[in-house]
Amino acid sequence: MSATTPGTIPAHQRNGHHDPRDLTDWREHTRVFLQPIAAPSILGLFGFAGATFIVATHLAGWYGTTRSPEYLFPFAAAFGGVAQFAAAMWAYRARDGLATAMHGMWGSFWIAYGILNLLGAVGVLTLPTGTFTELGFWFLALAAITASGVIAATAESLGLTGVLLTLAVGAGLLAVGYLTGGSGWLHTGGWVLIASAILAWYTASAMMIESTFGRVILPLGKPSKAANIPGRVAHQPIEFELGEPGVRHGQ
């Protein structure tokens, strides 16, 4: 990875001194493969969108019975839980604190949701049908932490901000619904979460399409105006200045 022969140090790097020529050496004599290879939030947002949509539409009254969660939780736990949690770990490798926190938290929730409904399905637990205080506090904690994510997301894009804002509101409504036993709160929360799932699907689709075409196709409302112009290349080819060579900061 160096332009010099082994054991030698360029004159402009000796004695701990560096000058702008260091960057030229990197660009001309280094072959860099950026990590992550693909944006982890593509998988994370799709996992969230799929799991949230099937559960939220049931809460909103689109279909199903009281036994529907028994048929929904395997998909929610695997796609919304395991896949999203894996995306959180890859987001950590990408130094994306927001994605690590949000995917990690909601991925953990979907795994826990699956375990809870599995225990109910096999008769180990009897899950309440009205007021469910414990589950209400689950959503209360999720809503509060997601609200913090909304603030951070404003520095990323309008698309991600919309996902987390509707998610925080929906989780808050579900918290009230389960704490009070009010079905109206649950139905309303389900509708808000449907909106969050749709926004997550759009955001993930925009990121995926940009990665395959190599340019912006669907804008996400990023702070950089250039990143929102269809056809514009949004990423620089090398970003080692921010830290470890070969690891891109963010997604």
pLDDT-above-90 percentage for the chain = 66
pLDDT in the model for residue 27: 63
Answer yes or no: is pLDDT of 235 > 70.
no
pLDDT in the model for residue 1: 42
Average pLDDT over residues 229-235: 65
Average pLDDT score over the chain: 85
CB 54 within 8 A of CB 198: no
Average pLDDT over residues 242-248: 56
CB 144 within 8 A of CB 138: no
Answer yes or no: is pLDDT of 28 > 60.
yes
Answer yes or no: is pLDDT of 241 > 80.
no
CB 219 within 8 A of CB 229: yes
Contact partners, residue 9, CB within 8 Å, separation at least 6: none
Q: Is the dihedral of CA 93, 94, 95, 97 positive or negative?
A: negative
pLDDT in the model for residue 66: 85
CA distances from 140 to 147, 171, 176 (A): 11, 7, 8
* Per-residue pLDDT tens over the stretch 139-175: 999 999 999 999 999 999 999 999 999 999 999 999 9
Average pLDDT over residues 116-137: 93
Q: By mean pLDDT, which of 91-100, 173-182, 214-223, 229-238 is the weakest?
A: 229-238
Answer yes or no: is pLDDT of 5 > 50.
no
Query: What three-state secondary structure class fits 35?
Result: strand
For the chain, the domains span 46-228
CB 221 within 8 A of CB 10: no
Return the structure tokens found at 120. Answer: 């109910």
pLDDT in the model for residue 43: 96
pTM: 0.79
* Per-residue pLDDT tens over the stretch 177-226: 999 999 999 999 999 999 999 999 999 999 999 988 888 899 999 887 66
Return the structure tokens found at 17. Answer: 């001194």
pLDDT in the model for residue 95: 86
CB 116 within 8 A of CB 55: no
Contact partners, residue 58, CB within 8 Å, separation at least 6: 64, 68, 69, 72, 190
